[in-house]
Chains A and B, each alone.
Chain A
Amino acid sequence: MTEQTIDSKSVSTIVGQYDARPEMLVQILQRIVQGHGWISAEVTRQLAGELNLSRADVHGVVEYYHDFRTAPPGKHIVKICQAEACQAMGSRELTEHANGVLDEDTTLEPVYCLGNCACAPAVMVNGQTLGRVSTERFDAALAEIGEQGS
């Protein structure tokens, strides 16, 4: 699973892979979030320096996009689709169920469409999209990541 902190050297390495192009800011932030879960104030400051942008610019972009968390997530990330096609197949009830069974190790986030609308309801567990997710299948997926995580 994701590392919860990123050191400044790793940030510089990622920036270097994008040739420190300021227009790659969204891509750089995405890489950091995918690998390390969140964007700290420190990372924001460093990116501003290395990309020759103002801190306000970087902060604005971090705050704008849903993907860019500004606090560390739990060990596991579960996203349940909250959009219409999944609503039509019971995603509201599934979300209610999830709220009842998830522990503090797991961060539950809304997502608006995973593009799996013909196999609704759809859920993403640690980056893997699952389809036709009944409450039983949801619990089974949780049990599986619980085993991997321990």
Chain B
Amino acid sequence: MSTVKVYIPRETSSVSVGANEVAVAIAREAGNAGASIELVRNGSWGASWLEPLVEVQIGEQRIAYGNVEADDVPGMFAAGFLEGGEHERRLGPIGEVPYLVSQDRWTFWRVGLIESLSLEDFLLHQGFKSLQKAWEMGADAVIDAVTEAGLRGRGGAGFPTGIKWRTVANTEGEQKYVACNADEGDSGTFSDRMLMEGDPFGLIESMAIAGFAVGANKGYIYLRSEYPLTHTILSRAIETARDAGWLGENIQGSGFDFDIELHLGAGSYVCGEETAMLESLEGKKGIVRFKPPLPAIEGLFGKPTVVNNVVTLASVPNIVNLGGERYAGMGVNRSKGTLAFQLAGNVKRGGLVEKSFGITVRELIEEYGGGTASGRPVKAVQIGGPLGAYLPADQLDTPLDYEAFMEIGAMIGHGGIVVFDDTADMAQQARFAMEFCAIESCGKCTPCRIGSTRGVEVIDRIINGEKRDESYDLLVELCDTMEDASLCAMGGMTPYPVRSVLKHFAKDFAPEAEA
């Protein structure tokens, strides 16, 4: 019998629920059966609810088995797993899993498909083709394509990427930098992580394209320390790319120099704010800088710097390859292209869903997510991380569109969608928003540093029924102050979740008053 390929993700979620143990069990069973297998460690396809998801290659097809536990493996082998045999864990061909097949995989198309750390596999799947095409097109044409695509920053702020790149390109300077923001701190988000773990060479290529476009020869990745497996994978990928001449001086004889340094964060949420991240990359406290000057003009070590989120950068290779117009053809209004939405919290089928903008929250939660994990009704959905508003059930038909969200006092942010069922105490969630801000504030500006602590206190008073009306008015006023006078989004947007609770879930604050 010839060697059979078996795919098992090396990805945080999959490993967190037993993928490594399953890999060991499969190797052992294959050994016992005298079968020759090749274990391929890929990224996760994003159906996290099916992890560990194992595939076996049968001809052109990959047959998937979901929620596999190590204890299932002997039974699967007995059922002819290596021939794609029938078993209760068998899902059928991966290309026919409805959750995956209906997505618009522009940025994540290689994630799950290839062996994450195989440069050979990457090259077989268009790897570095876009970088080579960028060299042919020239830097200006690359920036034009990104501008035409209408790509906006996926970290949360939604700033047009093409304009940012053009600014850096036009700024005089011998030394420029690309700084990739991989400090994915918002609860409910993991798309950066899945991209880096599943397609690390793709990020390297994306950063090289950005460097080429703006005239930077050095890139930095600022990765949060909460992602140890990602750190291992990225470190190895950078080393492999360097050894193969895809990073370093005179890449593949093109005359273009570009190298990447990988930095770890140290558990500070606010370091996801771009200027705090730059401070941290310089080895300092992650304290937010005043803007202007913009990082595009004076960024890392005072040099012109492109700061982009992982998913923003990773959207570029296909834009270069297929054209900006094609990307702009997806999505709605000023929200062009796709976003890798992340379904999390109390949801039955959590995971990553890359879809064109314009899909509604309800479609994502019901059609992909399958409702709550508990089976109870949805009470609230927080979108955009800890600074995002809580939407009540009657706002779930809002289309995912940056501007439509702004209209209802919400934001899409990094695309994390966290579902709560009807047991959630929204007053506690509002309190947590203030508490989190108090814990994570960098301390530079007063509204955020002091306001958040006062916010916790005043919410406690409301919950305890002390001077309720007065405290309520004070909280509203405090939200105004924080929103208007904070230096960055940390203090400036903490009021979003708080206000949304006041507006839509006020009775959680005053249960007895209601009764």
Contact of A119 among B17, B186, B263, B265 (CB under 8 A): B17
Q: A122 within 8 Å of B by Cβ?
A: yes
Q: B51 within 8 Å of A by Cβ?
A: yes
**Distance (Å) between the CB of A18 and the closest chain B CB?**
10
**Distance (Å) between the CB of A71 and the closest chain B CB?**
16
- B187 with A117: CB separation less than 8 A: yes
Contact of A26 among B49, B188, B263, B421 (CB under 8 A): B263
Docked Cα-Cα span, A23 to B282, in Å, equals 5
- Assuming the A-B contacts A24-B283, A26-B263, A30-B266, are A118 and B342 also in contact, with contact meaning beta carbons closer than 8 angstroms in the complex? yes
- B436 with A131: CB separation less than 8 A: no
**Distance (Å) between the CB of B444 and the closest chain A CB?**
12
Q: B107 within 8 Å of A by Cβ?
A: no
Interface residues of A in 81-115 (CB under 8 A from B): 81, 83-89, 111-115
Specify which chain B residues have a CB less than 8 angstroms from the CB of A25 in the assembled complex: 283-284
Specify which chain B residues have a CB less than 8 angstroms from the CB of A128 in the assembled complex: 16
Docked Cα-Cα span, A25 to B286, in Å, equals 12
Specify which chain A residues have a CB less than 8 angstroms from the CB of B419 in the assembled complex: 88
Q: Which chain B residue shows the least CB distance to A28?
A: B283
Binding site secondary structure of chain B: mixed
Interface residues of A in 33-83 (CB under 8 A from B): 57, 60-61, 64-68, 81, 83
Residue of A67, A112, A117 with most chain B CB atoms under a 10 A cut-off: A117
- B386 with A117: CB separation less than 8 A: no
**Distance (Å) between the CB of A57 and the closest chain B CB?**
8
- A87 with B226: CB separation less than 8 A: no
Contact with A along B30-50 (1 / 0, CB 8 A): 000000000000000000110
Contact with B along A4-46 (1 / 0, CB 8 A): 0000000000000000011111110110000000000000000
Q: B268 within 8 Å of A by Cβ?
A: yes
**Distance (Å) between the CB of A30 and the closest chain B CB?**
5
**Distance (Å) between the CB of B249 and the closest chain A CB?**
19
- A115 with B282: CB separation less than 8 A: no
- B345 with A84: CB separation less than 8 A: yes
- B268 with A64: CB separation less than 8 A: yes
Q: Which chain A residue shows the least CB distance to B374?
A: A89
Interface size on A, residues (CB 8 A): 43
- Assuming the A-B contacts A84-B386, A89-B345, are A113 and B226 also in contact, with contact meaning beta carbons closer than 8 angstroms in the complex? yes
Q: B370 within 8 Å of A by Cβ?
A: no
**Distance (Å) between the CB of A74 and the closest chain B CB?**
18
Q: A142 within 8 Å of B by Cβ?
A: no
Specify which chain B residues have a CB less than 8 angstroms from the CB of A85 in the assembled complex: 187-188, 344-345, 416, 418
Q: B184 within 8 Å of A by Cβ?
A: yes
Q: Which chain B residue shows the least CB distance to A88?
A: B345
Q: A127 within 8 Å of B by Cβ?
A: yes
- A113 with B424: CB separation less than 8 A: no
Specify which chain B residues have a CB less than 8 angstroms from the CB of A21 in the assembled complex: 283
Docked Cα-Cα span, A66 to B224, in Å, equals 12
- B418 with A112: CB separation less than 8 A: no
Docked Cα-Cα span, A114 to B185, in Å, equals 8
Interface residues of B in 432-473 (CB under 8 A from A): 432, 436, 439-440
Docked Cα-Cα span, A62 to B429, in Å, equals 30
Specify which chain A residues have a CB less than 8 angstroms from the CB of B305 in the assembled complex: none
- Assuming the A-B contacts A23-B281, A88-B345, are A111 and B226 also in contact, with contact meaning beta carbons closer than 8 angstroms in the complex? yes
Q: Which chain B residue shows the least CB distance to A33?
A: B266
Contact with A along B265-277 (1 / 0, CB 8 A): 1111100000000
Q: Which chain B residue shows the least CB distance to A60?
A: B285
- A117 with B12: CB separation less than 8 A: no
Q: Which chain B residue shows the least CB distance to A53?
A: B283
- Assuming the A-B contacts A65-B286, A112-B187, are A117 and B436 also in contact, with contact meaning beta carbons closer than 8 angstroms in the complex? no
- A88 with B16: CB separation less than 8 A: no
Q: B486 within 8 Å of A by Cβ?
A: no
Interface residues of B in 218-232 (CB under 8 A from A): 224-229
Q: List 26 A-B contacts (CB under 8 A).
A: A23-B281, A24-B283, A25-B284, A26-B264, A29-B266, A30-B225, A61-B283, A61-B285, A64-B286, A65-B268, A65-B285, A66-B268, A81-B187, A84-B187, A84-B418, A85-B187, A88-B419, A112-B440, A117-B418, A118-B13, A118-B342, A118-B344, A120-B344, A120-B350, A127-B228, A130-B17
Q: Which residues of B contact A (CB under 8 A)?
A: 12-13, 15-17, 48-49, 51, 184-190, 193, 224-229, 263-269, 280-287, 301, 342-347, 350-352, 373, 382, 386, 416, 418-421, 424, 429, 432, 436, 439-440
9 tightest A-B CB contacts, nearest first:
A118-B350, A83-B187, A117-B344, A88-B345, A118-B48, A131-B16, A66-B267, A65-B266, A25-B283
